[in-house]
């Protein structure tokens, strides 16, 4: 379900990224979308004051959500996968949100539940899997494949012909050079420059990026 269509929406997760998703919804509505935000679900009430300041509210814990349209405002790919499985089993459907200041080129495929934040750039012939998050000013180059639950954090740069496997995370300001593959669940640290393939579940940091202990 594309977020530019009319729908009533619940955001899952009231942490920092979840509240950034609120701003994407507002910007989309200002650009002509008709998204009605019903509120948030979160298992912890700690963000209630911050939600009040935004003019929205916490509806209750995640388990209370059923048969609704949702978006996962959660930074962790593992947690997004877990919540997606639970909510889909409860009859919920994911929305896809694209900030109006993002640029989406031709011949791209954007999966259900993706969030493309302000200033993100998606060039051409790119596939984004289910619940991929491209944070503020992230860039994805031509002919790249980002599998389900991938995260590219603010300012991350993914060059052309890159494969980011399921649940991989590209840290803030990191760069993945052309033709590189990043394995399942791997973590690329902030500011790293990835010049060769990264193994599944590895953590790499530095320039050039090298494995480190997680």
Which DSSP string corresponds to 145-214? EE-TT-EE-TT-EE-TT-EE-TT-EE-TT-EE-TT-EE-TT-EEPTT-EE-S-B-TT-EEETTTTEEE--
> Token pair 């679900």 is at which residue?
41
Q: Which of 41, 29, 35, 34 is nearest to 9 (CA)?
A: 35
pTM: 0.94
What is the tens place of the pLDDT at every residue in 81-129? 999 999 999 999 999 999 999 999 989 999 999 999 999 999 999 999 9
H or E element at residue 104: strand 103-104
pLDDT at position 47, please? 85
Q: Using an 8 Å Cβ cutoff, are 192 and 173 in contact? A: no
pLDDT at position 64, please? 86
Q: How far apart are CA 101 and CA 122, in angstroms?
A: 12
pLDDT for 192 beyond 90: yes
- How do 169-170 and 121-122 pair as beta strands? unpaired
pLDDT at position 199, please? 98
pLDDT at position 214, please? 53
Q: How far apart are CA 141 and CA 118, in angstroms?
A: 17
Q: pLDDT confidence of 45, banded at 50, 70, 90?
A: confident
Q: Which of 212, 173, 213, 179 is nearest to 193 (CA)?
A: 173
Q: How far apart are CA 156 and CA 186, in angstroms?
A: 15
Q: Using an 8 Å Cβ cutoff, are 86 and 66 in contact? A: no
- When computed from its CA atoms, the radius of gyration of the chain, rounded to whole angstroms, is 17
pLDDT at position 207, please? 96
Q: How far apart are CA 63 and CA 74, in angstroms?
A: 16
User: For residue 42, what are the contacts with CB-CB under 8 A and spacing of at least 6?
Assistant: 12, 13, 14, 15, 18, 58, 61, 62
């Amino acid at each position: 379900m594309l977020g530019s269509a009319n729908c009533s929406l619940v955001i899952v997760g009231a942490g920092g990224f979840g509240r950034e998703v609120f701003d994407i919804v507002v910007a989309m509505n200002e650009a002509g979308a008709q998204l009605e935000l019903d509120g948030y679900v979160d298992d912890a009430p700690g963000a209630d004051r911050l939600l009040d300041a935004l003019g929205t509210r916490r509806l209750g814990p995640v388990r209370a959500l059923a048969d609704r349209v949702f978006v996962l405002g959660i930074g962790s790919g593992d947690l997004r996968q877990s919540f997606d499985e639970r909510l889909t089993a409860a009859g919920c459907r994911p929305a896809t949100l694209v900030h109006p200041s993002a640029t989406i080129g031709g011949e791209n495929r954007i999966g259900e539940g993706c969030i493309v934040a302000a200033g993100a750039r998606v060039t051409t012939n790119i596939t984004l899997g289910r619940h991929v998050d491209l944070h503020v000013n992230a860039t994805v180059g031509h002919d790249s494949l980002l599998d389900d639950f991938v995260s590219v954090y603010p300012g991350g740069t993914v060059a052309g012909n890159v494969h980011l496997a399921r649940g991989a995370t590209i840290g803030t300001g990191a760069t993945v050079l052309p033709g590189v593959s990043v394995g399942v669940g791997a973590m690329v640290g902030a500011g790293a420059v990835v010049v060769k393939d990264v193994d599944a579940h590895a953590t790499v940091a530095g320039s050039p990026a090298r494995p480190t202990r997680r």
